[in-house]
Structure 1
Amino acid sequence: MAPTPSRLVARLRQPSRLPLLQVVKTSLAVVVSWILCFVILDQALPIFGAIAALLVVQPSINQSFGRGLERSAGVVMGVALAYGVGALFGHDQTWIVLVAVILALLLAWVVRLTPTSSTQVPISAMLVLSVGVVTPGYAFDRIIETVIGAVIALLVNALIVPPVLLGPAHLALGRLARDLGAALDSLASALETPTSRIDLDAALTRARALRDLQARAAAGVTTGEESLTLNPRAKRQRRILEADRALLGTLSNLVHRVVAMTRSLRDNYDPDLVDDDVVAGIADELRRAAHDVRLLVHDREENAASGSGGTAPESELPALTAPLRVLAPDPEHWILIGSLLEDLRRVREELVGEK
């Protein structure tokens, strides 16, 4: 099937725009790099300093540092390789440039450079052998330009509103907690009212989808952690990140429990379960657990909105109290009941903190 124009356009666009602040910072880094390279190196067109600044301003300071290091290392290696090839074969033949490019790619492969450095090595070697032959000092100026651009970009990114990317983690954790609560409520409903096989299969599908939300939340926490590395604002935000990481651990364990409970119910379901008093107690505990899971993020969202940490109203206090105890389960359903009770015990341990 041939790609439509709309699909081709979609490949060129991102789901969301870059923050306007990053665009402004990138522009500022390019301008400052251009001016400094012009003044220090007397370069009329300091293109490579500007390119370095464009590439090094990243969503986090840690990424900026890594990108600057990658680009600078690639330039130095490319220049050194070009000098070596030129010394061995001279500069008179066109094929020497091709040899240098191939050797640069092989060098990047041997030392396992990152994609940024792997591309920069052959580009630098090619430019030195082609342009540098007729421009004295070209190779050295190229290295200095790149370093200036990278350093300026890093400083701009670090000193002007250093990016703190904790928002995606908050959003992902909030959605994960709410969907976990919905999955627990769905389990309770299946135990309280007769449920068809189709509905049980759908519930298991929704429970397994929690793993994708868990992965997104984990990626959000990782992004937040990376944004605080080398960040001057990290000290004030570190406590929030630690809370997010702890919450992610709790919710991740709950995802495993919910998937296991839903699978057990789907595999061992019997319509007569709705008449079992023990099962009714399990359903009640599941609803309490669902309430407490949502409360994990509700408290943080309320405190963030109000700017205070006041006492929650009684309806928003944790609902789980004493663990459910069963002395004599139904002999026909004891496998399912035992499995649900064990998973429910572990859910309670995660929420109440008793292990």
Structure 2
Amino acid sequence: MQVSERLRKASLLAKKRSPFLQVVKSAAATVAAWLAAFWLVPGQLPVFAAIAALLVVQPSVDESFGKAIERSIGVISGVLLATGISLLFGQDSWVILVAVVVAILAAWALRMTSGTANQVAISAMLVLTIGSAQPEYALDRVIETLIGAAIGIIVNTLIVPPVLVEPARRDVALLGGELAASLDRLAAALEGPRTSTELEQLMLEARLMRPMRDAAEASVEAGEASLTLNPRRSAHRTELESLGAIFERIGPVVTQVIGMTRAFADHYDDSIHREPTVRAIAEQLRRSAHDMRLLTRPIEPEPEPVTSEQPALTSALVVSPPTGGHWILIGSLMEDLRRIREELVD
């Protein structure tokens, strides 16, 4: 096994690198915070300011703001706690351990987030180990942290603030394309005899849409978060709202297509394709695939050609009485088809 594979399995390597611009912004914020704090709060190396700036530069401005609040609250709490304990018990080595334990317990009792809780303990330990726990020193470290957090937000806001609309567009388009393909595959399966291997393959391909739907939903949410407090949001708000509206319409169709595929695989027999209603359902599925492509066509980077620019789901399906025991399958397919039609017919 290669070293990189071992490291990835040990969660030491990320699946993909962060954007290089994000790395540059983190470095710039750290340097700027160090210089500003060194000038404004002389006397100590501005470690707290540099750490705050480094942590605050996040993939979105909204996350930066949240991280700045988390960092500031953690540092202030940790510094005040360390100062109080030091004034009561002095600065012996055992006092540092007591301060860390008390910080962890206090954060737990106050139900702080894991990031804030860790920051309380780390700040208390740093204050007691690298500096003096006098009130003046503690106040300087708080000011230093606020400077670093503010600079991190400013840098992340002014230097090309990230807009995560492109991943949302990509994932929603991929989901729409796969849904249309799944509808076509199910239509073809309804029109002729199928082997057990083909049915298993059909079911497997349908189930793979679940992670695609989850990825599209996460991308849309990330896109919305990236526009919060972002000065570039006005140029992208309309597009993201359109992507969200498309996802709201096609997301539920994943459940219906998987349900139809499962029902077909569970109740399949070699005579089902002879039912007139089943052939009519197959035609409706092809029309649904056509309308799905029309719906997602504006966001496709390279849209597939369509036979018509007009919606195909223009008339309701007329059902004839099924023969034998096929009414269970046909009833299930009809109900899911009705729900798909409700999503696609505007």
TM-score by length of 1: 0.90
Q: Deviations over 1:95-134 (max 9, x none)?
A: 1111001000111111122222111111211222233338
2:243 paired residue number: 244
More off after superposition, 283-292 vs 232-241: 232-241
- Residue 54 of structure 1 is matched in structure 2 by 54
Is the aligned partner of 1:33 residue 2:33?
yes
Aligned to 1:315: 308
Q: Distance in 2 between matches of 1:328 and 1:351?
A: 26
The answer for the alignment partner of 1:216 in structure 2 is: 215
Q: Report deviation, 1:181.
A: 1.3
Q: 1:130 to 1:14 in 2, by over 3 A?
A: closer
Decide which moves more: 142-151 or 24-33.
24-33
Q: Report the Cα offset of residue 5 of structure 1.
A: 2.7
Mapped partners of 1:260, 1:247: distance in 2: 21
Q: For residue 316 of structure 2, what is the amino acid of its counterpart?
A: P
Aligned partners of 2:192 and 2:307: how far apart in 1? 29
* Residue 127 of structure 1: aligned partner: 126
1:8 corresponds to which of 6, 9, 23:
6
After superposition, what is the alpha-carbon deviation per residue over 1:268-300, rounded to whole angstroms, capped at 9, x for unaligned? Answer: 112112222221111111111112212222223
What amino acid sits opposite 1:252 in the alignment? G
Distance 2:325 2:108 in 1: 63
Say which is worse superposed, 145-154 or 171-180, in terms of deviation: 171-180
Provide the secondary structure at the position in 1 that maps to 2:308: helix
1:12 maps to amino acid:
L
1:243 counterpart SS class? helix
Partner residue, 2:151: 152
Deviates more, 1:40-49 or 1:143-152: 40-49
Where does structure 2 lack aligned partners over 5 or more consecutive residues? Answer: none
Report matched runs for 1:232-311 at 5 Å: 232-301=231-300
- Using the alignment, how far apart are the partners of 1:314 and 1:278 within structure 2? 24
Match of 1:338 in 2: 331
Q: What is the alpha-carbon root mean square deviation over aligned residues?
A: 2.2
Contact kept? 1:224, 1:241, Cα under 8 Å:
yes
**Cα shift readout 1:149-171 (whole Å, capped 9, x = no counterpart):** 10011011112222111122111
8 Å Cα contact 2:173-2:299 kept in structure 1: no
> How many pairs align?
343
- Corresponding residue SS for 1:45: coil
Identity %: 48
Report what 1:309 is aligned to: none
Query: One-letter code of the match for 2:235?
Result: R
1:351 aligns with 2:341: no
In the TM superposition, residue 189 of structure 1 has moved relative to its aligned partner by 1.3
Matched, 1:190 2:189: yes
Q: Is the 8 A contact 1:164 1:227 kept in 2?
A: yes
Q: Per the alignment, in what secondary structure is the counterpart of residue 216 of structure 1?
A: helix
Partner of 2:17: 17
C-alpha spacing 1:347/1:313, structure 2 compared with 1 (3 Å): closer
Q: Which amino acid aligns with 2:129?
A: S
